[in-house]
Chain A
Amino acid sequence: MSQQDNTLLIDVGSTYFKVSNQDSIEQYFRDFNKDILDDLLHRCGDTIQSFDKDDVYICSSANGGLNTLIIGVSNTYSLKYATNIAFNSGINIIDTILYQNIEEYSVPSDLVDVVIIVGGIDSCTGMFTDNLYSYLAKLSYSNIVFVGSEQDAPIIKEKISNLVILPNVIDNKLHIVEDYLKEYLTNLYQQDIEGKEDIKNLYDITANRIYPTPYIVNKALPEIDARYSVVNPFILLDIGGATTDIHYSKDLVDENIVTKNEFDRLVFKKLGVFKSKQSLIFTAKNNEFVYELLMHLKVTENIFNEQSQKATKILMQLAIFLVLCKISHYKKAYINLKLLTINSFVLTGGITKVLTKEEIENIIAFFYKKILTSGHRPVVVLDSNYDIWTLGLKGD
């Protein structure tokens, strides 16, 4: 454990708690029949009570985060830029609509936490028509923000009540402008976390602000060298119970997005080993290489029906493989990383407690051989003591 001073750090995930003080780091499986605070106090009440509220720092990725819908006029600019900013603001759940086809999209039945409308550089006008207002009239949402052409802003403001207008995310050279939307979304996420009853109760044990976990992890990455010998460029995989988060060096993308951050974040919302287990299995069954992978791991698909430590291990190995497929040229997705130039794979989260370094290396080698037909072997680094999370939380 790397912590030197007398603080208690707590991470509340969708599946586990992690509690860290200067002597130890502990992980507890959550009891979903209990309120988060009650569960925490039941498991490690004595430890928590021994710390002053000022010395307890909490971050959380529980309860899903904000549900976001982005309506933009092009895939390459408005939708891509807004999606990039949303991921880097810690948002997990993002759906997008290409505006020109808006009539073809179904309207989500669930309440959308935030709708982002984006499109056009500032000298453009008339990017949106009545189709937008008709769609929004059928949609339930809590917040709505416009980050497109400044000339369109007053026109749209007239038609949509409660519309927040922020500076355009696309400048006149078609470059991304992140700061305003990022700040808005981060604050909204923050309010959302603090507004959740379960999380609100945690202020009984801390006097400090509760941050979203992805925000904390992303903040630690520039300092990662302080803990590990990680060679750039690297990716960090956080395979959790509900989602899989990837944080990656910007050197790994050849994109038209030029930002100030050294690292970007990407989330696969239905690839987790606990809450999203069934969707992970579904994705696995639809991947043509998975049966070969199962053979390689010396198991059959019956493992999907098992409830055992071995089954969890296999699911985690599958999650690594599927995530790598999703960010490779094999599956054209939101982003394709230059996987042959990666020097290090850093893994954090519950996976580090379940898989060994060798087991992870085995999967990565299988992926490079089968999908990229390469013998490339990046170095695997396990953040078994949650040093990255500790670094981010302490650094704040």
Chain B
Amino acid sequence: MKVVTGVVGNDIHVVANRLIDLSLRARGFEVFNLGVNTYLEEFFDAAVETGAEILLISSLNGEAEGWGREVKLLKAKYKDLDNLIMMIGGNLVVGSGSAEDIVPKYKNYGFDLVCHQVDLNTGLDSLEEFIQQRNKK
């Protein structure tokens, strides 16, 4: 399956981005890595150009909190992205916060999978599980 990934907003955490890229490839995904400092429109446009089924956004410095609010509005402008699996992971708040508060907030922003301060492999396991569940339907 094709995955578009990258770090959203003004965030240069390239090491995490590289680890996500390597881990996805190791699990057999075809990865389109947009790198750091990526704007939301670039993510969606890359999904259109590549025909990706998954969009995995990472954020390490809390930038996602601002950008996340725009996701639903922007995605609604695209006519063929209804089935795109939307995942976000990393450190999703500025300062500290509990997953109980953060996960519902991001799901409300339009993400199917939200991994706040979750180990990378655990996060990717949940992605594969989500895909399996969706395929069963």
Contacts and interface: CB of A to CB of B under 8 A. Distances in A.
Interface stretch (B12-20, B41-49, B86-94, B110-118): B41-49
Interface string A61-105: 000000000000111111000000000000000000000100000
Interface in B40-66: 41-42, 44-46, 48-51
B103 interface: no
Interface stretch (A32-40, A118-126, A282-290): A118-126
A73 B49 CA distance: 7
Given A174-B32, A174-B34, A256-B42, A78 B78 contact: no
A68 to B, nearest CB: 21
A170 interface: yes
A195 B42 CA distance: 40
- How many chain A residues sit at the interface, stated as a range, is 10 to 19
B79 A174 contact: no
A120 B32 CA distance: 13
A120 B51 contact: yes
Given A174-B32, A256-B42, A74 B49 contact: yes
A395 B50 CA distance: 41
B80 A74 contact: no
Contacts, number: 44
A76 B51 contact: no
Interface in A132-187: 170, 173-174
Contact of A77 (B46, B51, B78, B79): B46
A170 B78 contact: no
A77 B80 contact: no
A256 to B, nearest CB: 7
A124 B80 CA distance: 14
A120 B41 contact: no
B49 A78 contact: yes
A123 B51 contact: yes
B48 A73 contact: yes
A258 to B, nearest CB: 11
Contacts of B37: 254
Contacts of B34: 174, 256
Contacts of B41: 75-76
A77 B50 CA distance: 10
B37, B48, B79: residue with the most chain A Cβ atoms closer than 10 Å: B48
Contact of B49 (A125, A170, A254): A170
Given A124-B50, A124-B51, A174-B50, 13 more contacts: A74-B44, A74-B49, A76-B46, A77-B46, A100-B80, A119-B49, A123-B50, A123-B51, A124-B49, A170-B49, A174-B49, A256-B34, A256-B42
